[in-house]
Amino acid sequence: EAGVVQSPRYKIIEKKQPVAFWCNPISGHNTLYWYRQNLGQGPELLIRYENEEAVDDSQLPKDRFSAERLKGVDSTLKIQPAELGDSAVYLCASSQAGAVDEQFFGPGTRLTVL
């Protein structure tokens, strides 16, 4: 069974440019998470979806970050415009029944903003 797929794996952009990340969760997983992981730190939740509904986006910087999960499967996370401080690894994870169940993580997208 394929795991959580993310693309791109690496992205380098100049500040003020837009960027988008894509995530395909494990088939059948209703819950999808986007995390940001800064160097030397644990992941920080940005947004959690139950199917197509964003049920927790309290940590998402809404002035520049947006996310969508149309049809409750794939998801995209967008930053516009990117800032230097956005350089981090963006991780997508999915689970079958909310956070209580085991989460499966994708390989992440490493973003570098110059």
Partner 1 sequence: KNEVEQSPQNLTAQEGEFITINCSYSVGISALHWLQQHPGGGIVSLFMLSSGKKKHGRLIATINIQEKHSSLHITASHPRDSAVYICAVDRNNDMRFGAGTRLTVKP
CB of 8 to partner 1, least distance (A): 13
- Shorter beta-carbon distance to partner 1: residue 9 or 62: 9
The label of the residue with tokens 């998801």 reads 75
CB of 56 to partner 1, least distance (A): 7
CB of 16 to partner 1, least distance (A): 25
- Give the C-alpha distances (Å, rounded to integers) separating 3 from 66, 104, 108, 112: 24, 7, 12, 25
Query: CB 93: neighbour CB atoms within 10 A?
Result: 25
CB of 42 to partner 1, least distance (A): 3
User: What does the binding site for partner 1 look like in residue numbers (CB under 8 A)?
Assistant: 33, 37, 40-45, 48, 55-56, 89, 91, 93, 98-105, 107-108, 110
Separation between Cα atoms, residue 11 and residue 2, nearest integer Å:
23
Q: Which two tokens stand for residue 114?
A: 């110059």
Q: Which two tokens stand for residue 21?
A: 């990340």
- Shorter beta-carbon distance to partner 1: residue 3 or 16: 3
- Shorter beta-carbon distance to partner 1: residue 14 or 44: 44
- Shorter beta-carbon distance to partner 1: residue 55 or 80: 55
Q: Which two tokens stand for residue 101?
A: 């169940």
